């Protein structure tokens, strides 16, 4: 009896999960990126960030923007979590969403934070959004094909479970790659980089970073066959990619904030 109830609950929960829209790196990915970024802020940026975040660190706010989807006052930012590019397209050549996308969102937040005379409440809002959207910008399936809604319509079978490419890369794969907490991700992945390696990660602009994620997304479609059971080979092949995207997201977020708060 108890088992029957439990399995009914599992089925109901699984149905709920598959019907929910996917929001970007799961909370863990956003947290890990924010932890990495926090560790690389200059003292000055650290002070200003902490003040604007009401004493909290960046990880505390890193998934906050996903929760705004349930608040209709923030409907205007609902498309800001992703930027789709179909096969054969770069971000530059893809059709743009007139409501904005993750690249325009990052640029807008940076511009707002640089604005002289902006109120603290608006600075705080745009900082919280920037922390989140830099994470989304480094989430490969947030640059997925428009034709399958960023991989939501691309069925895959991962470790015996039916899922889709978007959902797999938002969270399931992160946990499969390493069963770590967000702080463990940050500690274990963020090994001390030499100056050259750090410069290499930080190089470029948000537009370059967006284009890099589009390239990674295209490669994931090519490397993820539909209706084939993916398991350890797939995890071994792509775990380093998650590590790389978390590192890039973290270092680049720190770079943007260090520049913004240097004056
Ligand atoms: Zn998001």
Distance 126 CA to ligand 1 centre (A): 14
- Reported as a single tens digit per residue, the pLDDT across 212-227 is 999 999 999 999 999 8
Q: Evaluate whether 155 touches 226 at the Cβ level (below 8 Å).
A: yes
Distance 21 CA to ligand 1 centre (A): 11
- Reported as a single tens digit per residue, the pLDDT across 227-260 is 888 989 999 999 999 999 999 999 999 999 999 9
Distance 22 CA to ligand 1 centre (A): 8
pTM metric for this prediction: 0.89
Distance 48 CA to ligand 1 centre (A): 24
pLDDT above 90 (res 186)? yes
Q: What pLDDT is attached to residue 69?
A: 85
Domains of the chain by start residue, with CATH = 22-260 (1.10.575.10)
Distance 72 CA to ligand 1 centre (A): 16
* Averaged pLDDT score across all residues of the chain: 90
- Reported as a single tens digit per residue, the pLDDT across 137-155 is 999 999 999 999 999 999 9
Distance 250 CA to ligand 1 centre (A): 15
Q: How far is CA 58 from the centre of its chain?
A: 14
């Amino acid at each position: 009896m108890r088992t029957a109830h439990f399995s009914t609950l599992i089925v109901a929960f699984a149905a709920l999960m598959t019907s929910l829209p996917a929001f970007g790196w799961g909370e863990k990915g956003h947290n890990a990126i924010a932890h990495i970024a926090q560790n690389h802020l200059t003292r000055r940026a650290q002070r200003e960030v902490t003040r604007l975040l009401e004493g909290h660190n960046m990880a505390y706010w890193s998934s906050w923007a996903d929760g705004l989807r349930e608040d209709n006052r923030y409907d205007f930012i609902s498309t800001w979590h992703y930027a789709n590019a179909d096969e054969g397209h770069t971000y530059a050549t893809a059709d743009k969403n007139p409501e904005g996308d993750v690249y325009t969102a990052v640029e807008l937040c940076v511009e707002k934070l640089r604005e002289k005379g902006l109120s603290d409440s608006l600075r705080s809002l745009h900082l919280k959004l920037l922390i989140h959207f830099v994470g989304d910008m480094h989430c490969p399936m947030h640059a997925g094909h428009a034709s399958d809604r960023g991989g939501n319509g691309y069925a895959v079978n991962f470790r015996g479970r039916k899922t889709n490419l978007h959902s797999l890369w938002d969270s399931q794969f992160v946990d499969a790659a390493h069963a770590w907490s967000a702080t463990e991700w940050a500690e274990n992945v963020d090994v001390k980089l030499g100056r050259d390696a750090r410069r290499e990660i930080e190089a470029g602009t948000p537009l370059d970073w967006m284009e890099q994620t589009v390239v990674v997304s295209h490669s994931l479609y090519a490397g993820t066959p539909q209706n084939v059971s993916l398991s350890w080979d797939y995890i071994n092949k792509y775990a380093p990619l998650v590590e790389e995207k978390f590192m890039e997201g973290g270092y680049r977020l720190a770079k943007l904030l260090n520049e913004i708060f240097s004056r």
